[in-house]
Amino acid sequence: MRIFSGIQPTGTKHLGNYIGAIRQYVHGQDRGEALYCIVDLHATTVAYEPAELRRSVYDLTALLLAAGLDPSRCILFRQGDVHEHTELCWLLCSVTELGRLQRMHQFRDKSVTQRELVSAGLLLYPVLQAADVLAYRAHEVPVGEDQREHLELMRDVARRFNTRFPRPGTPHGGGQASGDGEEVLVVPEHRIPEIGARIMDLQDPTRKMSTTGGSEAGTVYVLDEPSAIVKKIKGAVTDSGKEIVRAPEKPGVSNLIEILAVARGHTPEQVEAEMRDARGYGDLKAAVADAVVEMLAPIRARYVELRADEDALETVLADGAARARAIASDTLADVRDCMGVGPPRTVRAPR
Ligand code: TYM
């Protein structure tokens, strides 16, 4: 099984990114052939500073390594190094409906916050994301809940492509017989964690924790100092009553229970049982603060060491890009062949 996910380099990574995504990336290394991509091209779709973008790619590379990605067990690379992503994005535009892109939530939300320019890149963002995954014929995409709409579009794009452009020689295709008859693109499944798929802002638990839309005091960063983590969690907004249970009318407490469950490696039901004798929300917050500090402190320590050596980080990314390109270029040759772009592919490269 092949696993692929992408993460934006810009913005400081927070507990939502860690629980919703990065932890699944680490587990993915034991479950299949895993590829993880730092999506610098996606970051150019909104206002940004070029020098800051470069820096933030290194920051994120060091963070992902510190969190447990191991380049001998996964392929970690920078999107802009593998040109197949942008080529496939263009080719997939031919099977992507414009109206659907205009209706995507992220496009609608982000286009109102752009002051100077709503770029065409912002509209095409989901097509590039589809290309990221489809270029590797990945089966599974670990993401948080907020990526569900993008994953659905990606699956539709893959299906439409396979229908519109079958392999030459298959029943609905023209040209020379290729022999194997399989569909060209794999329709991927998302993998959204059962617990922690949507970590909420600690100051406004009706909104997701986020670097762009959230509050500073309600966002725990992976690299926050322990004292800052404790302060933010102890200052979390809770709900009326004092029962420590998950309930729709208790978004603040429910969020803290989920965070504690993930940090302790327990189920939310176990956490509720463990907290039955607590004196109130103060005890819950203290337990969450301890558990989150314990979970994040080792990452912070390793990060500081790894971030200091940019040459080593660049080597990891360059090596990852070479390995990624070897896979993506094979898909692109197939896609071009099916679409009639460029010369016919007479000699098929081995998979
Ligand atoms: P990005 O960089 O915004 O977020 C990275 C991952 O973190 C998850 N996440 C959360 N999970 C739980 N609770 C939260 N509050 C929370 N906030 C963020 C996201 O769901 C995501 O999994 N468009 C993508 C990047 C991307 C991508 C891809 C992902 C580009 N190409 C291909 C998968 C496959 C994004 O902006 O993620």
Q: What is the pLDDT of residues 80-125, one digit of tens each?
A: 999 999 999 999 999 999 999 999 999 998 888 887 889 999 999 9
Q: Are residues 60 and 190 in the same domain?
A: yes
Residue 212 lies in a domain: no
Distance 207 CA to ligand 1 centre (A): 15
Q: Specify the CATH number for the domain of residue 87.
A: 3.40.50.620
Given this model, what pLDDT does residue 344 score? 84
Angle at 209 between CA 284 and CA 203, to 5 degrees: 55
Q: Are residues 164 and 264 in the same domain?
A: no
H helices present in 71-172, as ranges: 84-93, 98-103, 105-113, 120-134, 148-164
Given this model, what pLDDT does residue 345 score? 75
Residues 200-214 pLDDT 10s: 999 999 999 998 878
Residue 209 lies in a domain: no
Distance 239 CA to ligand 1 centre (A): 28
Given this model, what pLDDT does residue 179 score? 42
Q: Is 42 in the pocket of ligand 1 (CB under 6 A)?
A: yes
Distance 247 CA to ligand 1 centre (A): 26
**CB-based contacts of 32: which residues, under 8 Å, 6+ apart?**
1, 2, 3, 139, 140
Q: Is 331 in the pocket of ligand 1 (CB under 6 A)?
A: no
Given this model, what pLDDT does residue 346 score? 67
Cα separation of the two ends of the chain: 14
Q: Is 129 in the pocket of ligand 1 (CB under 6 A)?
A: yes
Residue 113 lies in a domain: yes
Distance 6 CA to ligand 1 centre (A): 7
Distance 8 CA to ligand 1 centre (A): 7
Q: Are residues 86 and 7 in the same domain?
A: yes
Residue 214 lies in a domain: no
Q: Which atom of ligand 1 is nearest to the CA of 208?
A: 15
Q: Are residues 108 and 234 in the same domain?
A: no
Given this model, what pLDDT does residue 116 score? 83
Distance 318 CA to ligand 1 centre (A): 23
Q: Is 198 in the pocket of ligand 1 (CB under 6 A)?
A: yes
Q: Which atom of ligand 1 is nearest to the CA of 42?
A: 30
Residues 204-260 pLDDT 10s: 999 999 988 788 999 999 999 999 999 999 999 998 888 999 999 999 999 999 999
Q: Residue 256's CB: how many other CB atoms inside 10 A?
A: 27
Given this model, what pLDDT does residue 351 score? 59
- For the beta sheet containing 2-7, the strands, ordered from the edge strand earlier in sequence to the opposite edge, are 74-78, 33-38, 2-7, 140-142, 189-191
Q: Are residues 292 and 332 in the same domain?
A: no
Q: Is 60 in the pocket of ligand 1 (CB under 6 A)?
A: no
Q: Specify the CATH number for the domain of residue 241.
A: 1.10.240.10
Residues 148-191 pLDDT 10s: 999 999 999 999 999 999 998 776 654 443 445 589 999 999 99
Q: Are residues 86 and 173 in the same domain?
A: yes
Q: Are residues 174 and 298 in the same domain?
A: no
- Mean pLDDT on 292-301: 97
Q: Are residues 168 and 265 in the same domain?
A: no
Q: Is 156 in the pocket of ligand 1 (CB under 6 A)?
A: no
Q: Are residues 134 and 175 in the same domain?
A: yes
Residue 328 lies in a domain: yes
Structural domain for 110, as ranges: 2-196+310-339
Q: Is 219 in the pocket of ligand 1 (CB under 6 A)?
A: no
Q: Whose CA is nearest to atom 36 of ligand 1?
A: 8
Residue 203 lies in a domain: no
Given this model, what pLDDT does residue 225 score? 96
Distance 28 CA to ligand 1 centre (A): 16
Q: Is 296 exposed, middle or buried (0-12, 13-18, 19+ CB in 10 A)?
A: buried
Distance 106 CA to ligand 1 centre (A): 12
How many structural domains compose the chain?
A: 2
- Predicted structure pTM score: 0.94
Q: Are residues 137 and 16 in the same domain?
A: yes
Q: Which atom of ligand 1 is nearest to the CA of 8?
A: 2
Residue 211 lies in a domain: no
Q: Are residues 182 and 75 in the same domain?
A: yes
Q: Is 218 exposed, middle or buried (0-12, 13-18, 19+ CB in 10 A)?
A: buried
Given this model, what pLDDT does residue 178 score? 40
Q: Are residues 79 and 148 in the same domain?
A: yes
Residue 159 lies in a domain: yes
Q: Is 63 in the pocket of ligand 1 (CB under 6 A)?
A: no
Residues 2-47 pLDDT 10s: 999 999 999 899 999 999 999 999 999 999 999 999 999 999 999 9
Given this model, what pLDDT does residue 226 score? 96
Given this model, what pLDDT does residue 347 score? 53
